[in-house]
Structure 1
Amino acid sequence: MALLSPTQSVLLVIDIQERLAAVIPDAEGLVARTGILLQAARHLGVPALAFEQYPRGLGGTLPAVSRHLPDGAIMEKMAFSVAAIPAVRTRLATLARRQIVIAGLEAHICVLQSAFGLKAAGYDVHVVADAVGARRPRDVDLAFARLRMEGIGITNCEMAVYEWMRHAETPHFKTMSRLLRG
């Protein structure tokens, strides 16, 4: 497992949807950090994709997240793992990047199953701990324990952004620094 690279990463935002987010502790903070990740990804050339689990029932991606996504970046799904969706596998293969950075809901279901599936497909997977949640905190803890046991990286928003930047001489350093300080 290596430091995150902006030329090798893809950011995946999983199921940050209206009805799910409404029952997640600290959803506001999670959404804010996901927004930071998306803005950093845009500035630093990291492609981003977002997913919606059964949007007719769970609602759409929260506007605070979707406003940072490029057109066509949101894909509907019924599978819990994004790795189980042929169109996702094709899109990731087209991007030709080996690192996957994951934010989203819920840690112990769609995030965990996606991370396991992507790791099994040969990707270097990193889950952003402070941009991931679940209805019950113990489910997040259990998910992180299982992810670690499988060799999946656990990072946070600030670590991911600074790893993507690598140094303070990047033209985006001041923008990213302000963004992270809030």
Structure 2
Amino acid sequence: MPLLSAAQSTLVIVDFQARLMPAIHDGARILANARRLADAAGMLSVPILMTEQNPAGLGNTVAELSGAGPVIAKMSFDACAESAFLDALAGDGDLVLCGCETHVCLGQSALSLLEHKRRVVVVQDAVGSRLPESKDVALRRMECHGAEIVTTEMVLFEWLRSATHPRFREVLKLVKQDGL
């Protein structure tokens, strides 16, 4: 099924870490969109899984996302190299990815998840890299290998499906916040 379903999705938040974010191009906007995704996921009972790359070196998850979901610490750029990550994503649901860096940890994780025959949906306005061209090339590469590239707003409205959804007005407030 092409449309995302809240009941069949997991939000994967990759490496939004304190020491990394100041170096990310357009980091504040990307982080705001990740927060919107996490807030909507909470409202719509979408599970969230987070990763931290070398937390001793890059710090923990930024305060804006801290506590949004369980965290898998990793040293490998590819989160799939951590058995706890794959165990936490057991099943065949859709994986909605946001995070940093698009061309390193997020990209390697997405490509590996595709090799594991998972549906990977990358939220282009909620992923970042230090350099815009690194992000652009990574998005094209992931798309060539089968990842779907979407926006935050697309995810939110597909999770809702209808203006009659009981949480519609709450999610709509997230859409109307500055920066989306």
TM bucket normalised to smaller: over 0.9
Contact 2:103 2:129 in 1 (8 A): yes
Alignment of 1:54-69 (within 5 A): 54-67=54-67, 69=68
Map of 1:76 onto structure 2: 73
Aligned length: 177
Equivalent residues in 2 for 1:5-154, closer than 5 Å:
5-67=5-67, 69-70=68-69, 73-93=70-90, 96-154=91-149
Secondary structure in 2 aligned to 1:66? coil
Aligned residue for 2:117, secondary structure, equals coil
Greater fraction helix: 1
Counterpart AA for 1:9: S
Report which stretch shifted further, 81-90 or 118-127. 81-90
Alignment of 1:153-164 (within 5 A): 153-164=148-159
Q: Tell me how far 1:97 sits from its aligned partner.
A: 4.2
- Write the distance in 2 (CA, Å) between the matches of 1:151 and 1:120: 10
Is contact 2:72-2:84 (8 Å) kept? no
Following superposition, the deviation at residue 162 of structure 1 comes to 0.5
**Identity in percent:** 38
The whole-number CA distance in structure 1 between the counterparts of 2:99 and 2:119 is 17
> Where do 5+ consecutive residues of structure 2 fail to align?
none
Structure 1 gaps, min length 5: none
TM-score, reference length from structure 1: 0.94
SS in 2 for 1:167: coil
- Quick check: 1:10–1:97 contact (8 Å CA) kept in 2? no
Return the letter of the residue paired with 1:18.
Answer: A
CA distance in 1, matches of 2:42, 2:92: 16
Q: Confirm or deny: 8 A CA contact 1:9 1:97 kept in the other structure.
A: no
TM-score of the aligned structures, taking structure 2 as reference length: 0.95
- Say which SS state the counterpart of residue 169 (structure 2) adopts: helix
Give the secondary structure class of the aligned counterpart of 1:178.
helix
Where 2:89 maps in the other structure, the secondary structure is helix
Q: Which runs of 4+ in 1 moved over 2 A?
A: none
C-alpha separation between the residues in 1 aligned to 2:92 and 2:165?
A: 21
Q: 2:132 corresponds to which letter in structure 1?
A: P
Match of 2:173 in 1: 178
**Letter in structure 2 aligned against 1:117:** S
Which letter maps to 1:150? H
SS in 1 for 2:6: coil
Letter in 2 for 1:58: L
Q: CA deviation at 1:19?
A: 1.3
Q: CA RMSD in A?
A: 1.0
